């Protein structure tokens, strides 16, 4: 083991450097793990914050990744300590993993602050694990480096690429229309999830891994190396080496996560055709750091960014192809050459973003398109406003149907998700393809947790006519693997009496993407009368975390963080008894 390299006064010395009874306790109990005395000699203590869990299958390989990080830390004379935090698995956790993003972030924040750590490596993968760990670490502001677990290998079914999530929606619709049998549907389960790693479409997990890299919080290449590729382990090893240097440099998140870094991330999201969920997570993360960042930034800064990356759900390829084609560094280089990147922002490897990406190459223009001939003209998230969403709603044009971008249709209203499930496939449902499906009470407070149900599957009787898209409006989120002309995150949400709550069957709704409008044709007098008659349809929780969540969660346009978690408390331990 190397000698420690840092010259800084370390935070961990407050624990392990003491020559009194407290110091005895701090060291002695650690020694029950077989640790020799010299690891307490003042070397940097590096926390490896692990979301490994067999209930989070996307992160189930992270113990192995942690071992690789440890190798790097040891090589550089650091002392690695791995610790678990709440892991949020998208597929199993009910009612929705998003309900617990803020809770997990609190776990992360207090685990880092309360322990003898000088820096931390965050091991993330599945959708909510990335923002929750970044939010918690940002509120402590110790040197932090993020290592994503990487995407699964390409799904493959009968020699066709199939993508996580995206093909579940497609195959489900095919079963409903009789184009696929239930047996074939079941056969695709194993074909879709062929290796360790997270969803390999450009869903939320891949988007957030790209955000990590675009924000400068991960090493170059972090986003796309497949989880099963040996180079993912090498990246983790190098992250372990680098975090020890970051202690010496005091390279903390607040030096990396600047306003310019967030602008880079917004533009990157447009270029990759990324998930709408990134909007909420980045708003919440910026809130932890006090960085000025609003919903409108997504439209204003991302508006003219061309979508370069041809990945499902908007396109044809998958993350494994993206890696072979050059990965995110190649996209960032293209943004830089187009004047759409703040080149001088600092990243965790100590270099500027431009230093990292300026020589990146594109190896397959079917996957990463040239800027002058993009995959889609507009990749950015559109922010809509109007009397149906005065505080904003979002739509992802790259996943929507061009012919529906300007549309007026009759509202078919579902009061909540149970109402939707009960009636959507009924032959009695009064709906045609020109209608607008409206789903209420699925926002942060209403669901609660703002589930990914906004991409409501179309009514069976519409699917049978061959129609594959309709305008849908809700206060919910949408899986990053989903697609369609779907208006999401309508604010204020129905459960707090937002205008969405007042829409009734037969009202005419207009979506005007070019004009950034979302309106319902109800005069103000009628709206006011409905407002007076409105009552919340669901009782609020009366105990536990969910009660606290419902009482303090902010609306989607502010990131749906808990109001008292805005800002950070730094790494100092309050009222320390020692």
Q: Say whether residue 126 binds ligand FES (CB under 6 A).
A: yes
Report the 10 Å Cβ neighbour count for 19: 7
Whichever of 205 and 285 has its CB closer to ligand FES, that residue is: 205
| Shortest Å distance, C-beta 164 to ligand FES | 6
Strand partners, 414: 439
Whichever of 149 and 484 has its CB closer to ligand FES, that residue is: 149
Whichever of 198 and 237 has its CB closer to ligand FES, that residue is: 198
Among the candidate windows 198-206, 390-398, 513-521, 567-575, which touches ligand FES by CB under 6 A?
Answer: 198-206
As a whole number of angstroms, the distance between CA 211 and CA 201 comes to 15
Whichever of 206 and 349 has its CB closer to ligand FES, that residue is: 206
Binder among 42, 136, 203, 499 for ligand FES (CB under 6 A): 203
Q: Say whether residue 416 binds ligand FES (CB under 6 A).
A: no
Phi/psi at 500 (5° precision): -55, -35
Stretch 138-177 residues interacting with ligand FES (CB under 6 A): 164
Give the SS3 label for residue 420. helix
Binder among 91, 352, 358, 468 for ligand FES (CB under 6 A): 91
Bridge pairing between strands 406-414 and 436-439: parallel
Binder among 109, 127, 416, 475 for ligand FES (CB under 6 A): 127
Binder among 40, 44, 65, 90 for ligand FES (CB under 6 A): 90
Among the candidate windows 136-144, 196-204, 465-473, 520-528, which touches ligand FES by CB under 6 A?
Answer: 196-204
Q: Residue 198 is encoded by which pair of tokens?
A: 């997270």
426: Cβ contacts below 8 Å, ≥ 6 apart? none
| Shortest Å distance, C-beta 315 to ligand FES | 18
Q: Residue 78 is encoded by which pair of tokens?
A: 């650091």
- Reference 389, options 536, 238, 305, 503; nearest CA is 503
Taking the CA atoms of residue 191, residue 211, residue 299 and residue 342 in that order, the dihedral angle to the nearest 10 degrees is -140
Among the candidate windows 32-40, 109-117, 195-203, 382-390, which touches ligand FES by CB under 6 A?
Answer: 195-203
Whichever of 357 and 450 has its CB closer to ligand FES, that residue is: 450
Taking the CA atoms of residue 325, residue 328, residue 334 and residue 335 in that order, the dihedral angle to the nearest 10 degrees is 160
Q: Please give the size of the binding site for ligand FES, defined by CB under 6 A.
A: 10
Whichever of 58 and 243 has its CB closer to ligand FES, that residue is: 58
> What 8-state DSSP symbol labels residue 309?
B
Q: Which H/E stretch holds residue 174?
A: helix 166-176
| Shortest Å distance, C-beta 91 to ligand FES | 5
| Shortest Å distance, C-beta 395 to ligand FES | 22
In this structure, are residues 188 and 167 in contact, taking their beta carbons and an 8 Å threshold?
Answer: yes
DSSP string, 323-337: HHTTHHHHHHHHHHH
Whichever of 127 and 213 has its CB closer to ligand FES, that residue is: 127
Stretch 421-440 residues interacting with ligand FES (CB under 6 A): none
- Half-sphere exposure of residue 34, counting CA atoms within 13 Å on the CB side? 0
Binding site for ligand FES (CB under 6 A): 58, 90-91, 126-127, 164, 198-199, 203, 205
């Amino acid at each position: 083991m190397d000698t420690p390299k840092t010259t800084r006064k370390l935070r961990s010395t407050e624990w392990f450097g003491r020559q009194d009874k407290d110091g005895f306790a701090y060291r002695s109990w650690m020694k029950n793990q077989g640790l020799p005395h010299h690891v307490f000699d003042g070397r940097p203590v590096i926390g490896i914050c692990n979301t490994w869990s067999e209930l989070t299958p996307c992160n189930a390989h992270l113990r192995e990744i942690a071992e690789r990080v440890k190798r790097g830390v040891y090589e550089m004379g650091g002392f690695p300590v791995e610790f678990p935090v709440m892991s949020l698995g998208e597929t199993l956790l009910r009612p929705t993993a998003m309900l617990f993003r803020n809770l997990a972030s609190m776990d992360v924040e207090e685990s880092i602050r309360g322990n003898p750590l000088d820096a931390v490596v965050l091991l993330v993968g599945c959708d909510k694990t990335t923002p929750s760990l970044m939010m918690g670490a940002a509120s402590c502001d110790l040197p932090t480096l993020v290592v994503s677990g990487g995407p699964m290998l390409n799904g493959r079914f009968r020699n066709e690429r199939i993508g996580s999530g995206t093909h579940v929606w497609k195959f489900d619709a095919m079963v409903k229309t009789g184009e696929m049998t239930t047996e074939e549907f079941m056969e695709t389960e194993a074909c879709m999830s062929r290796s360790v790693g997270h969803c390999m479409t450009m869903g939320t997990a891949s988007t957030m891994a790209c955000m990590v890299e675009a924000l400068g919080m991960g090493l170059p290449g972090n986003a796309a190396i497949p989880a099963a590729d040996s180079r993912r382990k090498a990246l983790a090893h190098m992250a372990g080496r680098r975090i020890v240097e970051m202690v010496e440099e005091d390279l903390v998140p607040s030096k990396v996560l600047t306003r310019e870094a967030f602008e880079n991330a917004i533009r990157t999201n447009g270029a990759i055709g990324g998930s709408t969920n990134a909007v909420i997570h980045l708003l919440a993360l910026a809130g932890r750091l006090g960085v000025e960042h609003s919903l409108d930034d997504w439209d204003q800064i991302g508006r003219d960014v061309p979508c370069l990356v041809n990945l499902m759900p908007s396109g044809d390829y998958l993350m494994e192809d993206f890696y072979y084609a050059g990965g995110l560094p190649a996209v960032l280089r293209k943004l830089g050459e187009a004047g759409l990147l703040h080149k001088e922002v600092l990243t965790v490897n100590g270099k500027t973003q431009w230093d990292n990406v300026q020589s990146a190459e594109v190896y397959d223009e079917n996957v990463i398109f040239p800027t002058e001939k993009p995959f889609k003209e507009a990749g950015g998230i559109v922010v809509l406003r109007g009397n149906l969403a005065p505080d904003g709603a979002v739509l992802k044009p790259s996943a929507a149907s061009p012919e529906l971008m300007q549309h007026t249709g009759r509202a078919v209203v579902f009061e909540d998700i149970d109402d939707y499930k009960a009636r959507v496939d009924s032959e009695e449902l009064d709906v045609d393809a020109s209608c607008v499906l409206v789903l209420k009470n699925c926002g942060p407070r209403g669901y609660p947790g703002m589930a990914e149900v906004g991409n409501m599957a179309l009514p069976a009787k519409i699917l049978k006519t061959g129609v594959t898209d309709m305008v849908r409006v809700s206060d919910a989120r949408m899986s990053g693997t989903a697609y369609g002309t779907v208006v999401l995150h309508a604010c204020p949400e129905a459960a707090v009496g937002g205008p969405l709550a007042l829409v009734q069957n037969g009202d005419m709704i207009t979506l005007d993407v070019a004009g950034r409008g979302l309106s319902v044709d109800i005069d103000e007098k009628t709206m006011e009368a409905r407002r007076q008659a409105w009552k919340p349809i669901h009782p609020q929780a009366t105990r536990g975390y969910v009660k606290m969540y419902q009482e303090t969660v902010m609306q989607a346009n502010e990131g749906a963080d808990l109001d008292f978690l805005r800002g950070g408390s730094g790494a100092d331990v309050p009222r320390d008894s020692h």
